[in-house]
Amino acid sequence: METKKGDEAVREALDYAFNVVSHNLESRKLELKFEEIGVVSFVGKGIARIRGLPHVRSEEVVLFPGDRLGIAFNLDPEEVAVLLLDKSEKVRAGQVVHRTGKVMEVPVGEELLGRVVDVVGRPLDEGEPIATSERRSIERVAPAIMDRSPVNVPLETGVMAVDAMVPIGRGQRELILGDRQTGKTAVAIDAIINQRDKDVVCVYSSIGQEKSEVAKTIADLRKNDAMENSVAVVASGDDPPGLNYIAPYSATTIAEYFVDKGQDVLIVYDDLTRHARSYRELSLLLRRPPGREAFPGDIFYIHSRLLERATNLKDGGSLTALPIIETQAQDISAYIPTNLISITDGQIYLSPQLYGKGILPAVDVGMSVSRVGGKSQLPAYSKLAGDLRLTYSTFEDLEAYTRFGTRLDEDTRKTLERGQRIREVLKQPQFEPIPAPEQIAVLWAVTAGLLDTVPLGDVPGAKEAIRKALRERLPEISSRIGSGEKLGSQDRDLLLATFKDALAA
């Protein structure tokens, strides 16, 4: 009897042990995971070729050893060509590469405001790590036509020559182009600085510039209190060409987060010349067929799909784009400039001749145009803009003609004198944006002839006197101009009388 009881106890203990083991095996059952891997077969400047990865998708992120990233770009039958997003020194042939199953994404959110980040969203300003709750793909389809609204609200740059004669509206794409060292970035930075108190978020995308230039630009933005509502997305000239290629797309995705929340956003691409060169370099390394000037055939599509994302949404905010392009020897008929001129809604051309004469900003009024911005201008501007542009263009033609020493009649002389004074009031130091009401006040005074008798050397002082008179004596009219009200004849008479008194004082 005792033996039977002992056998039963052992059997029960064994059954219990086997049940526990079976339960644990079932609860911790290992599942086989399918994973594609490839092997690096070639490494070049900014690219790598990989054998394997038969199901990888276009623009999918792949992972190299050391958590280095790349983007699948060419999907050939025998191999995959990848753009490297990190330094290629430690990437070697024979290394294993893994798929991630995701396209390239970038963190977005309010946490990015005031920060300087790289193209992937990593901080470059020695600040705290950035933790955002959302990530978005850098490639997004542009809004449909039916989701867009006409451009009808001005985006004031604070630059008188631009706001008066080449106006920009919120949701517009306005190209800034000119030769090297003509002040293209300066105009764009002034536009960003002027948004610091206008509830407009700004994104500055630096593409392929020297790190010292980028540091100076960001320091200028901080000094002028413009970084609080701005994000700087930086890909320097030392970075791999793949980072320079995706830089503007990452910056646009960051900007679109705020647009979708109903905010107005200004984005500056500085500059798309370097972007095009980076893409050309990558395309030639990837053995894509070269076309005109060795640029690949899809270079127009590369820029158009980027700039088409700028718009004024019906149910949302607006994204205003200021792409910058560098010309060579004033050749605006070159391949990339003509491509971008046809994509954008106008251009601001900066002349090296005006820059050399010290006429800053060096906006060439005759070669600059805004195709849609005029409809968004403040009503007080619209009364001035047509006459101002005509008077200034006539003056420039006459000035060129009179260099030959021609004798002048009285009307021609007066036109020249007024044109010279218009040019003087349009001169403006950098980092000193002028509010729209004060711009209009100065332009009313000069077009009405109040400055015709003022010596050219005294015009800057007269300009400041007019601005001060508007601020201190006519604050009500100033606020009405800024709110978009039309001015009657009595208002204009009061303005001119006040300015006469200010100039006579």
Rounded to an integer, the average pLDDT of 66-78 is: 92
Residue 476: its H or E element: helix 475-482
Single-letter code of the amino acid located at 18: F
Least confident of 29-38, 57-66, 414-423, 495-504: 29-38
The answer to whether residue 305 scores a pLDDT higher than 70 is yes
Cα separation, 86 vs 50, whole angstroms? 16
CA proximity to 163, closest of 373, 318, 441: 373
The answer to whether residue 231 scores a pLDDT higher than 90 is yes
Rounded to an integer, the average pLDDT of 103-127 is: 94
Main-chain dihedrals φ then ψ at residue 129, nearest 5 degrees: -55, 145
Given a contact cutoff of 8 angstroms between Cβ atoms, the answer to whether 84 and 50 are in contact is no
Tens-digit pLDDT profile for residues 43-55: 998 999 999 999 9
Cα separation, 306 vs 142, whole angstroms? 8
- Residue 29 has a pLDDT of 63
Cα 299 to Cα 280, 302, 337, distances in angstroms: 8, 5, 12
Residues 6+ apart with CB under 8 A from 468: 502
Least confident of 60-64, 68-72, 73-77, 402-406: 402-406
pLDDT interval class at 69 (50, 70, 90):
very high
Output the CA torsion sign for 279, 285, 290, 292: positive
Cα separation, 504 vs 483, whole angstroms? 30
Rounded to an integer, the average pLDDT of 455-480 is: 95
The answer to whether residue 406 scores a pLDDT higher than 70 is no
The answer to whether residue 505 scores a pLDDT higher than 90 is no
Tens-digit pLDDT profile for residues 127-170: 888 989 899 999 999 999 999 999 999 999 999 999 999 999 99
> What percentage of the chain has pLDDT greater than the value 90?
75
- Residue 1 has a pLDDT of 52
CA–chain centroid gap for 254, Å, is 11
Cα separation, 498 vs 141, whole angstroms? 53
Main-chain dihedrals φ then ψ at residue 445, nearest 5 degrees: -65, -45
371 is catalytic: yes
Provide the greatest CA pair distance for the chain: 141
- Residue 381 has a pLDDT of 87
Output the CA torsion sign for 379, 383, 388, 394: positive
Output the CA torsion sign for 131, 136, 138, 144: negative
The active-site residue, picked from 51, 277, 305, 371, is: 371
CA proximity to 363, closest of 389, 341, 343: 389
Given a contact cutoff of 8 angstroms between Cβ atoms, the answer to whether 108 and 132 are in contact is yes
Single-letter code of the amino acid located at 2: E
Cα separation, 20 vs 299, whole angstroms? 65
The answer to whether residue 2 scores a pLDDT higher than 60 is no
Residue 107: its H or E element: strand 105-108
Long-range contacts of 457-462, Cβ-Cβ distance < 8 Å, separation of 24 or more: 459/421, 459/424, 459/425, 460/424, 460/427, 462/503
Rounded to an integer, the average pLDDT of 81-104 is: 91
- Residue 112 has a pLDDT of 96
Single-letter code of the amino acid located at 26: E
> Helix count (H) and strand count (E) of the chain?
15, 16
The residues with which 154 forms a beta bridge, in sequence order, are 169
The answer to whether residue 23 scores a pLDDT higher than 80 is no
**Three-class SS of residue 363?**
strand
